[in-house]
Amino acid sequence: RMDQALLLVRNELPGQGLRLAALSGCCHQCSYQFLAFVPPSNGSLTEPGTAAVMVDTQHPLTLLLSGSVGDRELCKIQYHFGEFGNYSLVVKTLSTSTKTVSCDLVINEGPINSYLPILFAFLVYMGILAVLIVGRLFMKIDPVRNWVYKKLNPRETDRLINSELGSPNTTDSVSSDPTPRLWSTASRQRLRSLDTFRGLSLIIMVFVNYGGGKYWFFKHESWNGLTVADLVFPWFVFIMGTSISLSLSSMLRYGSSKQKVLGKIIWRSFLLILLGIIVVNPNYCLGPLSWDNLRIPGVLQRLGFTYLVVAAVELLFTRAGTESGTLEMPCPALQDILPYWPQWIFILVLEVIWLCLTFLLPVPGCPRGYLGPGGIGDFGNYPNCTGGAAGYIDRLLLGEKHIYQHPSSSVVYQTTMPYDPEGILGTINTILMAFLGLQAGKIILFYKDQHKQIMSRFVIWSIVMGIISAILTKCCKEEGFIPINKNLWSISYVTTTSCFAFILLLLIYYLVDVKRLWSGAPFFYPGMNSILVYIGHEVFENYFPFKWKMQDSQSHAEHLTQNLTATTLWVVISYLLYRRRIFWKI
């Protein structure tokens, strides 16, 4: 199967059976897992004892061979097997006097390079990009542009010619309403970098949700650590916080009352939560939705609640004059932070609550402050403690049947307890992530049109977040005070992803809004219709042309083709909607 190799163990030891066990390189503090028993040889090399097993190829494995009698360790081999490879592990005695045993790994059939489809896809998309760039350069040549316009829209071309000859058509004049120009002007005033950032996060999220070609680095990390898939949701939350800052400022500046704005915030949050529970619910795969198995947490639910808290707090404590810089500040270096001290105190109180619940809440049968995956992790001592306090709170308040049933830890750590990565406790740190994005929006508002100031502040924030992450994690994946963990939405996870978010926003802002070297396409278009694209890709996930029956379901190439096609289709759909000025806003 995909991500597997065949291992044939040949036991040439007479009269002694073998036990084969394995340990995955990504399974932290796990015990060896039994794979197979290899019978002894009959004393003749022509009939050794054999056993065939399938081994994982996604991560390095440590193989342990021990005798079936006395459990004596004979040999240990660490190796990273290749996909669809065929291997033999030959166990024999080198010296009968010393009873020295050798274990030799032999490649019978070489593995395939499962990463070639990624390279091919990259080259295809680069080729499409090159064609579009060349086409745009040609369109700057007047004769070419006129010829293309005439072929695409001959009636409009004739109207322009007649107009230039002095005989404009009244009907055409009325129909050529100036709205497009006004709308175009408005779109130029809007920061395209924010929509581009949002669209980039969304498109990676769509690709990951569709399967990411079934590559392990396009899936969520089993527990501690980061993959590509773990970056996109916090980035989306981050840019939502930035948009909150800009939209609230705009509404209040144009005279909307706080009561009216609060009503819009509550209504939008309610709609997001409702859509998440009813429309985008993974428990539909279990059959018709019912209250017995309704998953209550979810991505849209967390977005809705986070939006409600961050927007409401910002609306409650915002003061006139803070964004214009008219308020006098004792420390000019912190003039984009100090005016918002009530909001910061609120966030810090939330973080203290998260720390206290995570490290001090007693969880039955688990050590206090446990942050592990349970299952076979921690040498199998706490199999039912998945997520520690976070998992316990969800199971206690929501019930086991109302949370996610198949967490990412279930494959590597063989966990059996339900655990929801969008659970209650992690929402606190999601609020922190959105608030950091809101701070980015405050920087944009405070230093309006001062590009160097804005970019320098983004760099400073990125460095600060990076330093906090380094301290919390001790620059280690597993051994830090608070490891980076998407399932828990740990503080270090938020500071690390926000560090990357500030840098990414800085780059996009510089290229799109400062130097205008890039229009933001194609990510700008889904960024303008993010809710529609997200809900649409979830609802139509199993419909053609987003999904079809594969010839070979064990091929990364076919999965990657299908997932990239589906993702590209949503980019095209968002572009067509943009051209027709159709935007679904909640």
Whether residue 122 contacts residue 43, with contact meaning beta carbons closer than 8 Å, is answered with no
Active site residues: 220
Q: Rounding to the nearest 10 degrees, give the CA dihedral for residues 285, 290, 291, 292.
A: -70
What per-residue confidence (pLDDT) applies to 367?
94
Instruction: Give Cα 121 distance to the centre of its chain.
Output: 20
Tens of pLDDT along the chain (586 residues)?
Answer: 899 999 999 988 877 888 999 999 999 999 899 999 988 887 655 678 889 999 999 999 999 998 877 678 888 999 999 999 999 999 888 766 657 788 899 999 999 999 999 999 999 999 999 998 898 888 888 887 788 777 776 555 445 444 434 434 433 333 333 333 333 333 345 789 999 999 999 999 999 999 999 999 999 999 999 999 999 999 999 999 999 999 998 898 888 889 999 999 999 999 999 998 887 666 555 566 677 788 899 999 999 999 999 999 999 998 765 665 555 666 666 777 888 889 999 999 999 999 999 999 999 999 999 999 999 999 999 999 999 999 999 999 999 989 998 899 998 999 999 999 999 999 999 999 999 999 999 999 988 889 999 999 999 999 999 999 999 999 999 989 999 999 999 999 999 999 999 999 999 999 999 999 999 989 999 999 999 999 999 989 888 899 999 998 899 999 999 999 999 999 999 999 999 999 888 8
Length of the chain: 586
Residue 235 exposure: Cα atoms within 13 Å on the Cβ side = 25
What per-residue confidence (pLDDT) applies to 175?
35
Report how far residue 250's alpha carbon sits from residue 255's, in angstroms, rounded to the nearest whole number: 9
Whether residue 8 contacts residue 87, with contact meaning beta carbons closer than 8 Å, is answered with yes
What per-residue confidence (pLDDT) applies to 388?
94
Query: Could you tell me the CA-to-CA distances from 446 to 242, 321, 441 in Å, in that order?
Result: 13, 10, 9
What per-residue confidence (pLDDT) applies to 148?
78
Query: Could you tell me the CA-to-CA distances from 416 to 55, 251, 412 in Å, in that order?
Result: 22, 48, 11
Could you tell me the pTM of the whole model? 0.89
**Number of Cβ atoms within 10 Å of the Cβ of 36:** 15
- Give the residue among 324, 272, 260 at the shortest CA–CA distance from 299: 272
What per-residue confidence (pLDDT) applies to 46?
65
Q: Which fold has domain 4-109?
A: Immunoglobulin-like (2.60.40)
Cα first-last separation, the chain: 44
What per-residue confidence (pLDDT) applies to 179?
34
* Enclosing H/E stretch for 523: none
* Enclosing H/E stretch for 250: helix 229-253
For 539, the token pair is 């609802």
- Give the residue among 174, 179, 187, 177 at the shortest CA–CA distance from 583: 187
> What's at 207, amino acid-wise?
F
Helix spans in 165-228 (H): 170-175, 179-189, 192-209
Q: What is the DSSP string of 529-558?
A: THHHHHHHHHHTTTSTTT----S-TT-HHH
Instruction: Give Cα 527 distance to the centre of its chain.
Output: 16
What per-residue confidence (pLDDT) applies to 166?
40
What per-residue confidence (pLDDT) applies to 40?
86
Pairing mode of beta strands 33-38, 73-79: unpaired
What is the location of CATH 2.60.40 in the chain? Answer: 4-109
What per-residue confidence (pLDDT) applies to 396?
94
> What's at 453, amino acid-wise?
Q
Whether residue 277 contacts residue 298, with contact meaning beta carbons closer than 8 Å, is answered with yes
What per-residue confidence (pLDDT) applies to 187?
38
Q: What is the DSSP string of 144-160?
A: HHHHHHHHH-HHHHHHH
